[in-house]
Amino acid sequence: MQTVYLDLETTDLHPSEDEIVEIGILDDQGQPLLDTLVRPIRHTSWPEAEYINGISPEDVASAPVLSDLRSQIIEAVTGTRVVIYNAAFDSAFLASELRTAAEIEYAMLAFAEVYGEWNPYYEDWRWQRLYVAAAHVGFEWPGSSHRAIHDCAATRAVWRYISNRRPRAG
């Protein structure tokens, strides 16, 4: 099954209220399938997110809106394994588009077990941020983190590391 890696940058952390400002989708060979800024429809500023991802309202002023990108997103994910670092968060923004994927993998949960730091409060493995996972697997950022396509590349490196550590069936 073909694997693709997806990441979003958003106006904030609430999928029911916030919007996408950048989307990246990378194939398993490391080639971008989609790497674009996205112009929000409802939000005109997002100072806290801008501080983190560096994407300003001016940056997205002439970018396509999400509805203009839907067919490209669907084409990129249909029938594939989509690996998303924080799948619970990102997939909430693209629920209808991701229905066409064969499966969605949550890399952060898989990495938490590999990393092996126990969280006694939740009685489960402690989730790690992408930069921690990337450093653990020796990934070198091609640009700044918190840019969608670079985060896709980091997720790809983490997923490949996890996949190579898993016992093979048969």
Hey, where are the domains in the chain? 3-165
In this prediction, residue 144 has a pLDDT band, given cuts at 50, 70 and 90, of confident
What mean pLDDT do residues 99-103 have? 97
In this prediction, residue 79 has a pLDDT band, given cuts at 50, 70 and 90, of very high
Crossing angle of helices 107-115 and 148-165, rounded to 10°:
50
Q: Considering the chain, what is the average pLDDT of its residues?
A: 94
What mean pLDDT do residues 29-41 have? 97
CATH of 3-165, one of 3.30.70.870, 3.30.390.50, 3.30.420.10, 3.40.50.720: 3.30.420.10
Dump pLDDT digits (tens) for 111-128.
Answer: 999 999 999 999 999 999
What integer pLDDT is reported at residue 166 of this predicted model? 57
What integer pLDDT is reported at residue 81 of this predicted model? 98
Q: Is the pLDDT of residue 96 over 70?
A: yes
pTM: 0.93
What integer pLDDT is reported at residue 140 of this predicted model? 93
Which contiguous run of DSSP H or E holds residue 121?
A: none
What integer pLDDT is reported at residue 146 of this predicted model? 87
Total Cβ atoms within 10 A of residue 58: 7
Query: Which of the pair, 15 or 156, is modelled with greater confidence?
Result: 156
Q: Is the pLDDT of residue 170 over 90?
A: no
* CA gap 91, 99 in Å, rounded: 10
* CA gap 46, 21 in Å, rounded: 10
Torsion (CA) 55, 58, 62, 67 in degrees, nearest 10? 50
